[in-house]
Amino acid sequence: MSKERLLGTSVKKHENFSEWFSQVVMKTRLADIRYGLQGFIVHREWGTKILRKIYEMLEEEVERDGHEPVLFPIAIPLRFFEREKEHVEGFAPEVFWVMKAGDDELEEPFALRPTSETAFYSMYSLWIRSWKDLPFKRYQSRVCVYRYESHTRPFLRGREFPFFETHCAFATHEEALEQVKRDMQILKRVVEEKLFIPFVFFRRPKWDKFAGAEDTYAADCVMPDGKVSQIGSTHDLGQRFSKAFEVTFKDKDMKDKYAWITCFGPGIWRILAGVIAIHGDDKGLILPSVIAPVHGVVIPIYFKGKEDAVEQKTLEVKEILEKNGFKVYVDDDKEKSAGFKFNEWEMMGVPLRIEIGPKDVENNSVIIVRRVDREKIAVPISKLVEEFAKQLEENDKLINSRSKRYHIVHRAKTFEEVKELAQKGGFIKAPFCGIDEDGEACADKLQELTALKVRGIPLEEEEKPEKGERCIICGKEAKYIVWLAKVY
């Protein structure tokens, strides 16, 4: 553990979430924003370890689903972008272009990867030949993308940020749509079931879909300030990119056909932001065990003349737990008081703390303390492994239970009700005229008046308008109940 001192946050989460979030990011060594270039941050030790574990879970899930790993160049030639008009128009304002090498002008500029559709499908046109090659499922992990964002914030919006993407080609549209459903389940298994972040999957309005997609499906979670954060998305790209890049295959009838393509992007950064924001408290981070760099910290409590016995028991406890697959850290720094260590490791979000003092040595026991509620449990050494596992699970259950308070959903029937509920944060369900091009003007007007955006229609709990309900903006008969929210 570094000698840097964690002094806690100077503000409360519920009073000043923005400042609380920034302090937690810096003080727990998740990241350092002082690199000197806006939107480019240094990922520090604790944050890097957590990000690795998120990557590992996603990699395991997509490989189980039949995806194979690849690694593409960061450079994307200008001519690739020009082959899919809607895609290039959608990303043009955010692209970093490399125009020179040394003093020489490049014959063809290239972009720093803002996303990789054009790169992948330029190669899929070479790799895919026959229906026997399909489905063709590849993914890229542990890379960064580059986007010229005007407003930046660590783990929420940046100009360089970690990325994860899958790209799949199929013989039929039905198979592609089935992959979209599997993508959603992958995100649910990782983000909701393991990291305990509640979210809602939406079909985005046509005006808010991914550039170049037929349809976009995206997951939003509510943050403590009432805004929502998109933590992942999956896209039905139809045949747009396959036609632009000639991704064809010879079918069983010996005819050449265009592939149907999907892509999936879990938001690595945004997922970590959700963990920080939703689970953390005024003491700092609270980490689910699956991504905690260590499951527990062992803190020896020294008394003069009994140091050796305490240290010996501390090492014994560490050895027992590590032999049984748990990752633990012993904080034996004699320059820090036990109380200081307690606060320091609570700030870091470690799930369990083990305290060992002279009396515990005499009783051949330890004290286990859960991070979430600071409950203390006296445990005989003979039952240490069993109880450690039990308390780790209990800590996770408490994290999961508490996270549900951030699934905030209101129902409105009129524009006046929407305006009032907008002050409370979270999602607002309201009657609306459309989610295709016919509703875009009303969505723009809504955002202008309230800062709320139409997030779309939820896939698992769609609601129909009641008889007589009318669009909250134009007053026409409502066709949908859409979900609204302020967004990052």
Summarize the confidence of residues 216-222 as an average pLDDT.
Answer: 98
At residue 1, the pLDDT reads 46
The upper half-sphere exposure of residue 198, i.e. CA atoms within 13 Å in the direction of its Cβ, equals: 18
| Rounded Cα gap, residues 395 and 287, in angstroms | 9
Q: Is the pLDDT of residue 71 over 80?
A: yes
Q: Which band of pLDDT confidence, cut at 50, 70 and 90, is reported for residue 156? A: very high
| Rounded Cα gap, residues 220 and 199, in angstroms | 5
Q: Which residue has the higher pLDDT, 317 or 85?
A: 317
Q: Is the pLDDT of residue 173 over 50?
A: yes
% pLDDT > 70, the chain: 99
Summarize the confidence of residues 167-196 as an average pLDDT.
Answer: 98
Q: Residue 276 contacts by C-beta under 8 Å, 6 or more apart in sequence?
A: 21, 24, 25, 30, 155, 285
Containing 108, the helix (H) or strand (E) segment is strand 104-112
- In which residue are the tokens 């699956």 written? 290
At residue 383, the pLDDT reads 98
> With 0-12 CB in 10 A as exposed, 13-18 as middle and 19+ as buried, what is 459?
middle
3-state secondary structure of 381: helix
Summarize the confidence of residues 221-225 as an average pLDDT.
Answer: 97
Q: Is the pLDDT of residue 3 over 50?
A: no
Q: Which band of pLDDT confidence, cut at 50, 70 and 90, is reported for residue 85? A: confident
Q: Is the pLDDT of residue 8 over 90?
A: no
Q: Is the pLDDT of residue 6 over 80?
A: no
Summarize the confidence of residues 285-301 as an average pLDDT.
Answer: 98
Q: Which band of pLDDT confidence, cut at 50, 70 and 90, is reported for residue 79? A: very high
Q: Which band of pLDDT confidence, cut at 50, 70 and 90, is reported for residue 423? A: very high
The phi and psi torsions of 7 (rounded to 5 degrees) equal -100, 10
Containing 237, the helix (H) or strand (E) segment is strand 228-238
**Average confidence score pLDDT of the chain:** 95
Domains and CATH numbers, the chain: 17-279 (3.30.930.10), 296-404 (3.40.50.800), 409-485 (3.30.110.30)
Radius of gyration of the chain (CA): 26
Summarize the confidence of residues 54-65 as an average pLDDT.
Answer: 98
> With 0-12 CB in 10 A as exposed, 13-18 as middle and 19+ as buried, what is 59?
middle
| Rounded Cα gap, residues 159 and 38, in angstroms | 8
At residue 5, the pLDDT reads 53
The phi and psi torsions of 317 (rounded to 5 degrees) equal -65, -45
Q: Is the pLDDT of residue 433 over 90?
A: yes
Alpha carbon of 350 to those of 46, 50, 354, 369, 372: distances in Å?
A: 11, 12, 11, 10, 10
| Rounded Cα gap, residues 82 and 435, in angstroms | 28
At residue 354, the pLDDT reads 98
Q: Which residue has the higher pLDDT, 335 or 291?
A: 291
- Specify the long-range contacts of residues 476-480, CB closer than 8 Å, at least 24 apart: 476/433, 477/433, 478/431, 478/432, 478/433, 479/432, 479/433, 479/434, 480/431, 480/432, 480/433, 480/434, 480/435
- Specify the long-range contacts of residues 442-445, CB closer than 8 Å, at least 24 apart: 442/471, 442/473, 442/474, 443/205, 443/207, 443/208, 445/473
